[in-house]
């Protein structure tokens, strides 16, 4: 029996971004990002089908371009960054079309772990100017923040909800072959 060769790919943070969008007062959307994250993909095939993904995000690195809001997101009302410094995900990539995949696995925020399914588009693989093998992926999906213990809520005088429950996730990830 032939041994299966695994290829390790590491996230290139300078060419990757992790963003989220959430409704504010129902009428507008706030976009935020996380500035510190790390991850890898272990693949046994050139097309990444069945690859194992692992990803960690530092909650204290949340950035919505508004310092007070970022501090509130780091507080116990939301991420509780002091006691829960990381969001983590481990999952498998399953090919569903030529460049389309599903990324399925457990996502952990605070002390809550739930299975999520995200859509993935593989942008391709390319050798860069330094001879490094790179692969690009766009990952999207949404989660209900309240299912992960991010339950803080406030209603305005007019009855509007301050923060929506649905959080859209958008990740642009470039991997470099290790």
Q: Is the model more confident about 120 or about 68?
A: 120
Provide the pLDDT for residue 152.
64
Any idea where the domains of the chain sit in the sequence?
7-177
- What distances in angstroms separate CA 113 from CA 44, 85, 89, 118, 131, one per listed residue? 27, 15, 9, 15, 39
CA distance 139 to 51: 15
Average confidence (pLDDT) over 80-104: 95
Provide the pLDDT for residue 78.
86
CATH superfamily of 7-177: Lipid/polyisoprenoid-binding, YceI-like (2.40.128.110)
What H or E segment, with its residue span, contains residue 161?
none
Provide the pLDDT for residue 135.
95
pLDDT tens for each residue of 65-87:
989 889 988 998 889 999 999 99
Q: How confident is the model at residue 30 (pLDDT cuts 50, 70, 90)?
A: confident
Provide the pLDDT for residue 160.
47
Confirm if 23 and 57 have CB atoms less than 8 A apart.
no
Q: Is the model more confident about 109 or about 155?
A: 109
Provide the pLDDT for residue 81.
95
pLDDT tens for each residue of 105-116:
999 999 899 999
């Amino acid at each position: 029996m032939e041994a299966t060769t695994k290829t390790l790919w590491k996230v290139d943070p300078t060419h990757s971004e992790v963003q989220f969008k959430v409704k504010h007062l129902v009428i507008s959307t706030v976009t935020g990002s996380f500035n510190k994250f790390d991850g890898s993909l272990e693949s046994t095939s050139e097309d990444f089908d069945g690859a194992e993904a692992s990803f960690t995000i530092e909650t204290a690195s949340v950035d919505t371009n508004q310092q007070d809001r970022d501090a509130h997101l780091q507080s116990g009302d939301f991420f509780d960054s002091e006691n829960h410094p990381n969001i983590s995900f481990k999952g498998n990539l399953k090919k569903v079309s030529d460049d389309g995949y599903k990324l399925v696995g457990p996502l952990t925020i605070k002390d809550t772990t739930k299975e999520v399914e995200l859509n993935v588009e593989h942008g391709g693989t390319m050798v860069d100017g330094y001879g490094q093998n790179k692969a690009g992926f766009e990952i999207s999906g949404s989660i209900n923040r309240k299912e992960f213990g991010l339950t803080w809520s406030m209603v305005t005088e007019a009855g509007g909800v301050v923060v929506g429950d649905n959080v859209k996730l958008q990740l642009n990830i470039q991997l470099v072959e290790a």
